[in-house]
Amino acid sequence: MVLAQLGGSISRALQQMSNATVIDEKVLNECLNEISRALLQSDVQFKLVRDMQTNIKKIVNLDDLAAGHNKRKIIQQIGVDKVLGQTVLLYWEGVSPNGVAIFNELCKILDPGKPSFTPKKGKTSVIMFVGLQGCGKTTSCTKYAYYHQKKGWKPALVCADTFRAGAFDQLKQNATKAKIPFYGSYMESDPATIAVEGVERFKKENCDLIIVDTSGRHKQEAALFEEMRQVSEATKPDLVIFVMDSSIGQAAFDQAQAFKKSVSVGAVIVTKMDGHAKGGGALSAVAATKSPVIFIGTGEHMDEFEVFDAKPFVSRLLGMGDLSGFMDKLQDVVPMDQQPELLEKLSEGFTLRILYEQYQNLLKMGPIGFSSELMPQGRENENQAKIKRCMTIMDSMTNEELDSVNTKLMNESRMMRIARGSGRTVREVMEMLEEYKRIAKAWSKMKGLQNLRRRPNM
């Protein structure tokens, strides 16, 4: 079952439960069984699925269910009591009263913890990639370099794979396409020597992310692990990234463990998440080894590469967009006394002005506002700069534009005027509007929002 299908099956199961008039133990069990079936078909370990079932049943008070309590009671039981929290639950009610519990449990299954080391822009870090042959290691090295290059880093690639004929050419070709400096040798056969030469050269050139691609083998064997250790000892990498093909599903658990035992793996990249039935299984299996998955590969192209973060990932899986993160954030930053007012305004529609006000709240909070799970750590400044940029753009909008509940108004000449006024490019204005549309769409999904004023005591 590919991931999109898995998401669809879970959403359908939740929907069915929410359609039931009374949620009793039978309805809950049917829903959980349906979800469990979908997870098992995606190759998620039986134990994880069973634990999820047990945990959800613990959260949801079965006695209440037996007494036939209504949905609202059950929602309250999940225990989020802030006004905005209730909004999330109202949204979730459209999907399922127990959606929050299920969402959290799915996140738990996929949450692998934090990487052992996070490189810092402007400070040299050596990152060594390891993995079996064909797992997508060379492709991921370039994707990783390209991802950081786009964010203003100065990456470089070193090919220390002397085992596979053509490895250097492949890396060279990828690197050239992405305009990333590379180092390798057709003559030298000792991978550790090449790795050291490459690392030295790029240190002198002040590259801040020196990526060393090592050899793979068809299977885990002593020679592979020995070579990995030699390259690691010679280059003293700050971070070793283990690359793994997701199509192996649950077997990912053993493979990740074996690599962890041989070299100090600090992070994992799971590749080929596009179109593979066992992607969910692979991700959960890696998470079960407590190895932090930092990126997933979603295609052969350079930019088919995504930061992996369990919460937004599960949100997307369930078709919620990044709503959970956004809600977390808003709940944190909107002062309690402003929340009812905000909800009132929101029930009329999500305007650019509302977004502006929420950005103001975020900025007022300073760094704390930017350090949630929603915004990856170490990127606080980047996030802050992005928000300020969006606000500058909005400063050049008219009241009519700010109070409109959609972007239909925004024709080319308006966008050009806004760009000129804010000293930004039209492209940046368009990007800002896209961001707004994304958030507004997430809000519009909250089916219960319209009923809010009718249900003040919820």
Binding site for ligand GDP (CB under 6 A): 131, 133-139, 216, 271-272, 274, 297-300
CB of 437 to ligand GDP, least distance (A): 28
Helix (H, G, I), strand (E, B) or coil at 24: coil
Residue with tokens 């009241």: 399
Q: How far is CA 206 from CA 108, 123, 209, in A?
A: 39, 8, 9
Contact 171, 159 (CB under 8 A): yes
Query: Which of 424, 388, 431, 392 is CA-nearest to residue 410?
Result: 431
Which residue lies nearest ligand GDP, judged by its C-beta? Answer: 297
Minimum CB separation of residue 305 from ligand GDP in Å reads: 7
Cβ proximity to ligand GDP: between 293 and 374 the closer is 293
Given a contact cutoff of 8 angstroms between Cβ atoms, the answer to whether 318 and 311 are in contact is: no
| Nearest residue (CB) to ligand GDP, 155 versus 448 | 155
Residue 42 or 139: which CB sits closer to ligand GDP? Answer: 139
Residue 91 C-beta: closest distance to ligand GDP, Å: 32
Closest approach, Cβ 138 to ligand GDP, in A, equals 3
Nearest residue to 265 via CA among 293, 234, 224: 293
Least distance from ligand GDP to the Cβ atom of residue 150, Å:
18
Q: Are 153 and 121 in contact (CB under 8 A)?
A: yes
Q: Using CA atoms, how far apart are residues 195 and 240, in angstroms rounded to an integer? A: 14
C-beta of 308 vs 359, nearer to ligand GDP: 308
Our CB check for ligand GDP shows the closer of 297 and 448 to be 297
At its nearest, how many Å lie between ligand GDP and the CB of residue 178? 14
Residue 423 to residue 426: CA distance in whole angstroms: 10
Q: What angle do CA 299, 303, 305 make, to 5 degrees?
A: 60
What token pair was written down for 89?
């639950």
Min separation Cβ 298 and ligand GDP, Å: 6
